Structure 1
């Protein structure tokens, strides 16, 4: 009986085993010795790959917040070493996962979870003489290109091994003709969440994605996704389209409240021009991800600054601005007086002992609340004062004596 229960639990949990945990934060970049700083360039390229893989968006590296962070790529690396790939020296990097996720949060970019659907790929290549299935051990340029691009996007692929069961379990005509039921039956031996059938001929790729468990392909009425791509990068385009599809399904945007932030107050803002100049200069700092305006009162403004660096580094960058002068303010802790509690209700005093009737408020110390840290700066932006409108200059009279008369008058 116990074995039957364990077997049933195994069947229930089997579909979840198909999901693959993708390593999003580790990458390897070939060093370009033709540039001045190959290591720095490789760190930027590696961080770009990790951000695209973790966010699921190819254009995520063009985000302004990400662009700032790329200039400080070394701060996001947890491990780094040198390696070899095809007789070329490479830089192996492992980025800090919480920092990358925090960066995506600050940039308001989505996060594609590491648990991703595993896709079984049936690739049929057509030449002038024959059609053949590309197995795991097949030396196929199209298959290699698909694997490389899938690694870049973090899309898990499984290629059939091509053993006796595979060879006898599926016909090339079934794959090429798009017959769903045989495809589903031949795919059930693999722990896959979806099945991708690709038909490649020269530089043309036609594909069909069955986004369902193999055992339901050809049985349910769920319609597959299909597409076609042309050109030398047809395989890359196909992988990008499928990656975008799954990323859109599973990605979430995490709120940025958890990012490291600091409050900063600026005084002596004489006009609106000063405010907008200050806001623009703060947004341009590499240590700043975004700004929130907390309070505007008189000639003072208080910001909540979401940081890409430490608060001390942000303070140093603001101090180097010629318009900002630090203000040292000694903030006294707030003392909250303790509130006495009634010892007993009226009429119950006779039941209390002498010790219990003593005023307990003497023993209660007032609560001390530590002040919230805040940076203070004085803004000296007088030259940014808004221009005052002037009246048009009138032409001088032609006769001098008339001008003198007007002046005397």
Structure 2
């Protein structure tokens, strides 16, 4: 889930949030499979809501015991892992690949007033300095270190698309190790301008007592500078806490309480729609937005189309979600009538 996007604009990635996999023994009985499904389902719930504490909900805890009811399809794949049984013997395994039913899961969350965070997730640029090998080091996109693997595993589990710096001469000149290690936000933001991202996670990791490490994290998002108190533990645990900081804050911004009783209507006028293919693409795009419960064509015009959309939220939330990528670029509407009509105007950017 890591990538490199150079260009300096906002960026978002569409993820398959409702697929999970878990390894079970080759001859797993029903109990072992059900326990594995519950484990996978709990990860999915946290990923879709963005909130670890969603697992504290009593109704969710009950649903986890009935996880099989929320599965649309499943299959078994080959696994090269081995378990060790109580006798110390190596036991072959297989992988369960589970596709959960999106509608059933979302309904469960809505009924229990938990947020639903859609598949379009903001890209997070990660700058990470460490001294784990006794040398000054900045994590780049071409590495396969323990830190890199822990970061990608945690980001994948939480549904956070991450972008890592290239680590070329430009990066070296733009941001020194000492500037990143000091978590100097202005220097980090300046160095980040060349990358497409919506948020920045900066951190530093140093050795601690025994085999533990110590980490500090800084999240830069929408003008905010959020610091996480120093954390200690294994590499995977401190990295997971950094990703958790990101997931919590982005969930607050983009995850929505989809309340069917709080539906609002907006007009979305889309300019630059000249071909039938463009119209179909715009319609499909609007229907893919988690916040939009219905998009109905209102009228055609010479310069575009207008949709009447039902929104489970408010105008500002829809604007935030549409700003995650560059398919619809906002057009400033200056007329009083447009503002009073609750109308949004955008220009379509075809691929």
TM-score by length of 2: 0.60
Per mean C-alpha deviation after superposition, the further-off stretch among 104-113 and 163-172 is: 163-172
Residue pair 2:8, 2:197 contacting (<8 A) in 1 also: no
Unaligned runs of 5+ in 2: 1-6, 82-92, 208-212, 263-351
- Tell me the equivalent position of 2:18: 25
Counterparts of 1:72-87 in structure 2, within 5 Å, are 72-84=66-78, 87=81
> When the two structures are superposed, what TM-score results if normalisation uses the length of structure 1?
0.52
1:83 Cα deviation after fit: 2.6
2:220 aligned partner: 210
Distance 1:76 1:144 in 2: 30
How many Å separate the matches in 2 of 1:231 and 1:117? 28
Match of residue 94 from structure 1: 99
Structure 1 residues 246-255 or 201-210, which shifts more?
Answer: 246-255
Instruction: Please state whether the residue corresponding to 1:39 is helix, strand or coil.
Output: helix
- Report the Cα distance in structure 1 between the residues aligned to 2:108 and 2:76, rounded to whole angstroms: 26
2:231 is aligned to: 229
1:81·1:93 contact (CA, 8 Å) conserved in 2?
yes
Q: Alignment partner for residue 120 of structure 1, among 118, 121, 125? A: 125
Matched, 1:190 2:195: yes
In 2 relative to 1, CA 235–14 (structure 1 residues): closer, same or farther, beyond 3 Å?
Answer: closer
Aligned equivalents of 2:261, 2:79: Cα separation in 1: 41
- 2:217 match: secondary structure: strand
Write the distance in 2 (CA, Å) between the matches of 1:33 and 1:257.
47
Q: Residues 26 and 94 of structure 2 are in contact (CA less than 8 Å); yes or no, is this contact kept in structure 1? A: no
Higher relative CO (Cα under 8 Å, sequence separation at least 6) belongs to 2
Pick aligned residue for 1:247 from 245, 251, 259: 251
CA, structure 1 residues 65+235, in 2 after alignment: closer, same or farther (shift >3 Å)?
same
Q: Deviations over 1:390-409 (max 9, x none)?
A: xxxxxxxxxxxxxxxxxxxx
How far apart are residue 195 of structure 1 and its match? 1.4
Q: Show the counterpart of 2:345.
A: none
CA deviation vs aligned residue, 1:325-353 (integer Å, no higher than 9, x gap): xxxxxxxxxxxxxxxxxxxxxxxxxxxxx
Structure 2 CA distance, aligned partners of 1:72 and 1:180? 46
Count residues with an aligned counterpart. 236
Contact (CA 8 Å) 1:29, 1:90: kept in 2 or not?
yes
Structure having the higher Rg: 1
Relative distance call for 1:46 and 1:229 in structure 2 (3 A) is same
Do the aligned partners of 1:133 and 1:172 also contact (CA within 8 Å) in 2? Answer: yes
The counterpart of 1:46, out of the listed 27, 40, 43, is 40
Structure whose residues are more often strand by fraction: 2
Q: Say what the alpha-carbon RMSD is for the aligned residues.
A: 2.7
